[in-house]
Amino acid sequence: MTEVRQVVACGTIVTMPGVTRRDRVLEAAATLFHERGFHGVGIDEIGKTAGTNGPAIYRDFSGKDELLAVLFEGAIEKVAIPAGVRFEDPRTELEFLVRHHAEFAIGNLQLVSIYAHEHRALAEPWRSEFEKRTQKHGSRWRRTIAACYPGASRQDVAIAAHAAIGMLHSVVFWPETLLRSPAVVDRLCAMVLEGIGSMAQSSTAAA
């Protein structure tokens, strides 16, 4: 379903017919968490921004903790590659992982920013499940990098994976002029891949 949204001057999200209250609440929560932080926003404010009220939110969510958890779940659903997607060439897979993550980060700046600033606020039981999924995603990065550079140590592979993902997530701190620059995804991917590729030199030196 195509959803059309507009934020009016008073700060209330107005939606076209067909968009559920749950959708409006999630969008309002994402906007407010991004702008003011998880701990700086109350349920009543989220309800007002969503065009409803605080008590109505509890019909769909148990509270702010679950709202944050659902936003994180939506983010990992977008960025994670299904386990069934396989590649014959590890370098092709690495290029795919980098581009997919780059497109996600630049296309979902709000979600990535919330994760960067609020991931420690995620409460149980959602924290454990989210950590399992992020670890699984990270494991795929490490396996792919290791397959591309079989001479690299496990430590170097882990550093490369974390550094690459960290660089991709750094776009949330970039000025808008850079984010609007031509072919920004291509340039970001090239820099990340070049950074990972430096392991080829370190592997040769170690050998």
Of the candidates 205, 163, 171, the one whose C-alpha atom is nearest the C-alpha of residue 188 is 171
Domain with CATH 1.10.357.10 in the chain: 81-206
- CATH code for 5-61? 1.10.10.60
| Tokens representing residue 11 in the block | 């700060």
Which residues make up the CATH 1.10.10.60 domain(s) of the chain? 5-61
Packing angle, helices 199-206 and 154-169, rounded to 10:
160
Per-residue pLDDT of the chain (207 residues; tens, 9 = 90+): 333 444 434 555 554 556 899 999 999 999 999 999 999 999 999 999 999 988 899 999 999 999 999 999 999 999 998 777 889 999 999 999 999 999 999 999 999 999 999 999 999 999 999 999 999 999 999 999 999 999 999 999 999 999 999 999 999 999 999 999 999 999 999 999 999 999 887 655 454
Apex 26 CA angle, 25 and 29, nearest 5: 85
Name the burial class of residue 25, with classes exposed (0-12), middle (13-18) and buried (19+) by CB atoms within 10 angstroms of its CB.
buried
* φ, ψ of residue 104 in degrees (nearest 5): -65, -50
- In this structure, whether the domain defined by 81-206 belongs to CATH 1.10.357.10 is answered with yes
State the residue for tokens 């397959």. 147
